[in-house]
Amino acid sequence: MVFVLTGSDNQFHIFREDVNSHTFQEIVPEEYFPEFYKCADIVTWIEIYYLNNKQERLTVLGTETGYVRLCRVCAKTKTILLNHSTNFISYVSHIKIYPENKTVPKPTFVKTLSKFERDQQNLNETLILNVVLTNTSVPSVLFRDCLNCGMDNYRTLRRCDPVSVTSCVEIADIDFDGYDEIVLGNSRQELLLYKFHKDEDEWRILETKSLVSPIFRIKYLDITADGVKELIVFTMKGLYIFQHDADFIQKKLEEKIRKININCK
């Protein structure tokens, strides 16, 4: 494990642990991360996603002037397989990489489930990685299937207020339909929930929730350890934790159990 830091010198600083001395030493970035070659500006966000059993990785970084770099890298040979870049003019506030097709690991108590394993193998072979990028002036953008299309296939996330600053993004299946939604936070003290409409091939705002202070960060975690994730929102004036409605969760659980029983017959 390493720590990747950036500074006002426009450089990448990587620190790796020395197990023998229990200290961290700085290493040359390009030796292990060839995608971290020199940037002309201060890097404000780095997002890394490993794939193919950690043999490859997708790295996306953004800077304070809006420059964005996307690289697919072979971790074994330390070579760049795909390199795309663009510029959004303004400060890149957040980047999120997520798989479009969900994969569920087989439970340890399941002995044999050949169809399940085949389905999971097919999903891994057709992995689709999307990237959501937010910046402080222009609308946020979703890049689809970056492993194959780079930054060519994209959709713009329309916003309600043209002067608000989008500060953060989180990916979450809020309505439990098996498809992820996009949650944005902004300086106008709003949470914006986007859902994809297949018929129109467009992301639209499904719901807007107002808070009492600007939003810094959003996380979707099971903080209560009850098996259901909560939406955690960090704001200028404190922390908000939004929980799903218990009756809604119960209804969804019963629906899924009925489907399992039908498939097992």
Q: Are residues 179 and 133 in the same domain?
A: no
Laid out side by side, the sheet with 12-18 consists of: 2-6, 12-18, 23-27
Q: Are residues 141 and 181 in the same domain?
A: no
Q: Are residues 66 and 44 in the same domain?
A: yes
Q: Where are the beta strands (DSSP E) in 43-124?
A: 43-51, 56-63, 67-74, 79-87, 92-99
Q: Are residues 121 and 223 in the same domain?
A: no
- Nearest CA-CA partner of 152 in 61, 205, 199, 82: 82
Which one of 104, 133, 157 terminates a domain? 157
Gyration radius (Cα) of the chain, Å: 20
Q: Are residues 150 and 170 in the same domain?
A: no
Q: Are residues 4 and 131 in the same domain?
A: yes
**Domain range spanning residue 44?**
1-157
Which one of 126, 157, 188 terminates a domain? 157
Q: Are residues 26 and 137 in the same domain?
A: yes
> What pLDDT was estimated at residue 256?
83
CA 125 to CA 53: how far, in whole Å? Answer: 12
Q: Are residues 21 and 137 in the same domain?
A: yes
Q: Are residues 139 and 193 in the same domain?
A: no
Which one of 157, 184, 217 terminates a domain? 157
Task: Give the torsion sign (CA, 105, 107, 111, 115).
Answer: negative
Tokens encoding 38: 């020199």
> What pLDDT was estimated at residue 132?
98
Q: Are residues 146 and 23 in the same domain?
A: yes
Share of the chain above pLDDT 90, in %: 70
Q: Are residues 212 and 231 in the same domain?
A: yes
* 3-state class (DSSP) for residue 120: helix
Taking the chain (265 residues) in runs of 10, the rounded mean pLDDT of each run is 90 90 89 91 96 94 96 95 94 96 68 58 74 94 95 90 89 92 95 93 93 96 92 95 93 86 63
Q: Are residues 34 and 100 in the same domain?
A: yes
Tokens encoding 169: 């993004």
